[in-house]
Amino acid sequence: MNDQSSGNKSSEYQNLERKLANVEAEMEHLNEIGIALSSEKNLNKLLEMIVVQTRRFTNCDAGTLYRVDEEKHTLKFEIMQTESTGYYAGGTTDIKINVPPVPLEKDGKPNHANVSASVAITGEVVNIPDVYVAEGYDFTGPKKYDEMTGYRTESMLVIPMRDHTDKVIGVLQLINALNETGERIPFDKKYEAMVRSLASQAAVAINNAQLIIDIENLFKALVVYTVKAIDARSPHTAGHSSRVANLSRRIAEQINLEKDGPYADVQFSPEELEEVWVAGLLHDVGKIGVPEAVLEKSKKLDGAKFELVEERFKQVRDMMIMRGALRNAQNGRPVDGPDEQLKAEIAEWEQDWEFLQWVNNPGYLAPEKKEILDELAKKSFIDGLGEKQLYIQSEEYLNFSVIKGNLTDEERKQIQMHVVHTNDLLEKLPFTDKLAHVPAYAAAHHEWPNGKGYPKGLSGDEIPLAARVMCVADVWDALTAQDRPYKPPIPVEKSCAILENGAKFNEFDADVVNLFISHRLWEKKPGEVTEFEDAED
């Protein structure tokens, strides 16, 4: 008797130990799941993980995750999984869930007929052993699904997902608990509290992931509108930064598709593609530190400065006419009579004025034209006050004598300083780890592989690939832009030739140029690059 009693106590003790061990294992598993959920920052992966891990924890066949859409007062399907049929939709899959959202209200009243909507409204767990015999809810949807697919929906555990403020942000619906032999059974009530706890952890993780997305979207919006504001300082470069950002990303996407050649082993991750795009947007942000007169300069002398030259030339002509009239008066001829000297002087004046208007346009000033300008700069006249004046003042001559383009050396330095300003500005911003290289990429987009770029004179691989990509995109847009007042857009074929010629002299990365031209990437939209050159956009 004593032995039997002792044996019974020993058996009970062993059973208790097994139950305790099972509880400890479940709690440890629950804790591991919570840690995994809290560490995942990708929202789609997180939503998938919640359903997968909860199904494993409860050993059930199917699961659906809904999120509350407060604006539309609905539950939106986010994830649907059925292991026995191999059906997985939503999240990171390419399969969209084409099921209408579940309304939280019907005819202005809370929708308690639908079990998932009711759980979202009440915040209470619902555990149903068999939906085909359950009362109180409308299971038309699951039954219709079963009829269409041959599936059999039986047990159901529906759990509210409460965040840290106790607000229901979603619903987790688990279907068909399974025993060890794979038979459908009701959900054990012991899982209700555990899964509820897990669902709350998941809700907090979802909110955190969504917060990160919202912050990133806010940051992108601030970047985009800041860049637009800076670009708007000059209508002649409006849209340039966005075009360079998109074109840089296109090139990087094409690099990812290369199976052989110099980029066979190069891969930009999604985060790095985003980094390239943001750097492209911000590559000219330092122009905020460049005088607007320099940014807006369309000719060698603009606005009032050229008007001053024009007024002076008019004064020269007026003095010529006045002297001609005086000569006629002194010689006893009509004041406005013919004067061959005046005729010759006016003809020379017109030639000088026409030349000066021509030389004021941006472009190449050939040596023979420079000689004409130098002679013109030596000419002088006596003004109305009897003072000797040069046709062209020294500062004006400095601008007119620019050999190529329309900027003086000092103005070009001011423009080139924009990359230094860009670096200084961006280094002060608290970029996330995913965007940590943005300042370096943006500040190096004028560096050349031959070491003759600026501002640091970097060469070869000292220049990050993303910056070499951006350099080509930036030059291409500058060549082909429709909105530059100082030059017409250069045709595509000629622009390609300019890039190829620059690559020969190692001004641009030859591999990037070859990739860009061979795939005609300027014709493609972001995200639409393909492995095939002739693929349609």
Q: Which of 389, 396, 447 is nearest to 423 (CA)?
A: 447
76 neighbors 103 (Cβ within 8 angstroms): no
In 40-172, alpha helices (H): 43-58, 115-122, 140-149
Residue 221 inside a domain? The answer is no
Q: What angle is formed at CA 181 by the lines to CA 175 and CA 183, rounded to 5 degrees?
A: 35
Which structure tokens are listed for 454?
């600026």
The CB-side HSE value for 148 (13 A sphere, CA atoms) comes to 6
Distance of CA 390 to the CA centre of its chain: 53
Q: Are residues 175 and 57 in the same domain?
A: yes
Q: Which of 31, 99, 20 is nearest to 66 (CA)?
A: 99
- Helix, strand, coil shares, percent, the chain, to 5: 55, 10, 35
Distance of CA 90 to the CA centre of its chain: 24
Which structure tokens are listed for 379?
């000419």
Q: Are residues 30 and 173 in the same domain?
A: yes
Full domain range(s) for residue 253: 232-292+414-523
- For residue range 9-27, what is the model confidence (pLDDT) as tens digits? 566 666 656 655 554 455 5
Q: Where are the beta strands (DSSP E) in 130-210?
A: 156-162, 168-178, 184-185
- For residue range 322-334, what is the model confidence (pLDDT) as tens digits? 888 888 888 878 8
Residue 219 inside a domain? The answer is no
Cα(277)–Cα(242) distance, rounded to whole angstroms? 9
Q: Are residues 192 and 274 in the same domain?
A: no
Phi and psi for 521 in degrees, rounded to 5? -70, -20
Q: How many helices (H) and strands (E) in the chain? A: 18, 14
Residue 342 inside a domain? The answer is yes
Cα(157)–Cα(142) distance, rounded to whole angstroms? 14
Q: Are residues 429 and 510 in the same domain?
A: yes
What is the predicted pLDDT for the residue at 127? Answer: 95
Residues of the chain scoring pLDDT < 70: 1-40, 231-238, 483-487, 525-537
Cα(478)–Cα(403) distance, rounded to whole angstroms? 19
What is the predicted pLDDT for the residue at 329? Answer: 83
Query: If DSSP codes are grouped into helix, strand and coil, which group holds residue 366?
Result: coil
Q: Are residues 308 and 265 in the same domain?
A: no
What is the predicted pLDDT for the residue at 537? Answer: 32
249 neighbors 276 (Cβ within 8 angstroms): yes
Q: Are residues 55 and 111 in the same domain?
A: yes
Cα(186)–Cα(179) distance, rounded to whole angstroms? 9
Q: Are residues 402 and 419 in the same domain?
A: no
Helix H or strand E segment including 438: helix 438-443
Question: What DSSP string describes 471-532?
Answer: HHHHHHHHHH-S--TTSPPPPHHHHHHHHHHHHHTTSS-HHHHHHHHHTTGGGSPTT---SS
Q: Are residues 480 and 355 in the same domain?
A: no
Helix H or strand E segment including 363: strand 363-364
Q: Are residues 350 and 277 in the same domain?
A: no
Output the furthest CA–CA distance in the chain (Å, rounded).
160
What is the predicted pLDDT for the residue at 7? Answer: 55
CATH number at residue 18: 3.30.450.40
What is the predicted pLDDT for the residue at 513? Answer: 97
Q: Are residues 431 and 503 in the same domain?
A: yes
Is the N-terminal amide bond of 455 cis, ω within 30° of 0? Answer: yes
What is the predicted pLDDT for the residue at 89? Answer: 94
Question: Strand 156-162 relative to strand 126-128: parallel, antiparallel, unpaired?
Answer: antiparallel
Q: Are residues 162 and 13 in the same domain?
A: yes
Cα–Cα distances in angstroms (integers) from residue 288 to residues 11, 319, 364, in the given order: 81, 45, 28
Q: How many CB atoms lie within 10 A of CB 534?
A: 7
Q: Are residues 388 and 429 in the same domain?
A: no
What is the predicted pLDDT for the residue at 212? Answer: 77
104 neighbors 110 (Cβ within 8 angstroms): yes
End-to-end C-alpha distance for the chain, whole angstroms: 88
What is the predicted pLDDT for the residue at 197? Answer: 78
Question: How many structural domains compose the chain?
Answer: 3
Cα(291)–Cα(410) distance, rounded to whole angstroms? 12
